């Protein structure tokens, strides 16, 4: 039984990741920022016992530290961290450089960098110090994005923050390997989460499914399966990798 902290686990990919670990007998810390009802639903669906509900805005460095401290107390320690929480692209966060005011540009950049990069970095720092101090090894998996490689013209701060998250993960893989801690990242393409259901059902749906030669988009469960493997002892030698999960919709060279 491992103790697993999943940030941003109220729904979507985070919920699927939490469910996957719990189904394997692990104890899960379900973190959320504002969607308490959704996070409680995630907690209710988890098989097993000993799970914990954790609240905090990871854009606040003090809250990030408190979330880790609460997870250590609530779970009895942490063995695995999944950095999933993010300020995600939406109609309200669109900031194409030719279309927004300088004030809106600044606001979107600050929020996405604060949560997607600095929030993950701060949580990683606190968890890494816990893992190093107890000298038992562990795993950290970052949820990045295909947009880090393909570009996000409508959401440049999102693409940049995810590219930085990938680079940060590789730096941590080198820094933490001597302590038996593996650090990896996944880079999903478009995923059929609850938040994306209206787009998939609307006029954009066919084009989104057509991005992949499989003729569909990914599922949260497919991302969760990859995270579960990368967090396993069998995947330790994968430390430092960034795994593409996009159904061949974008191929890197």
CA geometry: angle at 127 spanning 184 and 67, to 5°?
A: 115
Query: Is 101 labeled as catalytic in the residue annotation?
Result: no
Instruction: Select which of 10, 139, 158, 249 is catalytic.
Output: 158
Is a pLDDT exceeding 90 seen at residue 253? no
Residue 11 has φ and ψ, to the nearest 5°, of: -165, -175
Instruction: Select which of 32, 162, 185, 249 is catalytic.
Output: 162
CB atoms near residue 236 (< 10 Å): 16
Mean per-residue pLDDT, 180-197: 94
Q: What domains does the chain contain, in order, with CATH numbers?
A: 3-245 (3.40.50.720)
Instruction: Select which of 145, 161, 185, 249 is catalytic.
Output: 145
Instruction: Report the C-alpha gap between 188 and 124 in whole angstroms.
Output: 20
Is a pLDDT exceeding 90 seen at residue 153? yes
Q: What is the pLDDT of residues 98-131, one digit of tens each?
A: 999 999 999 999 999 999 999 999 999 999 999 9
Strand partners, 141: 82, 184
Which two tokens mark 227?
Answer: 């995270």
Q: What is the pLDDT of residues 204-244, one digit of tens each?
A: 899 999 999 999 999 999 999 999 999 999 999 999 999 99
Say what the pLDDT of residue 202 is: 87
Mean per-residue pLDDT, 86-91: 94
Strand partners, 55: 32
Which two tokens mark 123?
Answer: 């949580």
Query: Is 161 labeled as catalytic in the residue annotation?
Result: no
- Separation in Å, CA 115 to CA 24, 53, 168, 172: 29, 19, 14, 18
Query: Is 171 labeled as catalytic in the residue annotation?
Result: no
Predicted confidence band of residue 195 (pLDDT cuts 50, 70, 90): confident
């Amino acid at each position: 039984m491992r103790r697993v902290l999943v940030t941003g686990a109220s729904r979507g990919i985070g919920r699927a990741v939490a469910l996957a670990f719990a189904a394997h007998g692990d104890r899960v810390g379900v973190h959320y920022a504002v969607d308490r009802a959704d996070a409680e639903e995630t907690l209710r669906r988890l098989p097993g016992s000993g799970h914990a509900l954790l609240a905090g805005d990871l854009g606040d460095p003090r809250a990030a530290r408190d979330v880790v401290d609460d997870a250590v107390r609530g779970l009895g320690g942490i063995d695995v961290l999944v950095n999933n929480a993010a300020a995600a692209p939406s109609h309200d966060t669109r900031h194409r450089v030719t279309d927004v005011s300088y004030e809106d540009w600044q606001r979107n950049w600050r929020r996405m960098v604060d949560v997607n990069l600095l929030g993950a970095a701060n949580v990683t720092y606190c968890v890494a110090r816990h893992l190093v101090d107890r000298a038992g090894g562990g795993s950290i998996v970052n949820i990045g994005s295909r947009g880090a490689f393909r570009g996000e013209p409508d959401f440049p701060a999102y693409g940049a923050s995810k590219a930085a998250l990938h680079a940060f993960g590789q730096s941590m893989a080198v820094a933490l390997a001597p302590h038996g801690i593996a650090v990896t990242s996944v880079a999903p393409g478009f995923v059929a989460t609850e938040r994306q259901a209206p787009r998939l059902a609307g006029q954009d749906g066919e084009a989104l499914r057509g991005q992949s030669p499989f003729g569909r988009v990914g599922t949260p469960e497919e991302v969760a399966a990859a995270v579960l493997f990368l967090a396993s002892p069998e995947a330790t030698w994968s430390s430092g990798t960034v795994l593409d999960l996009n159904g061949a919709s974008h191929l890197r060279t």
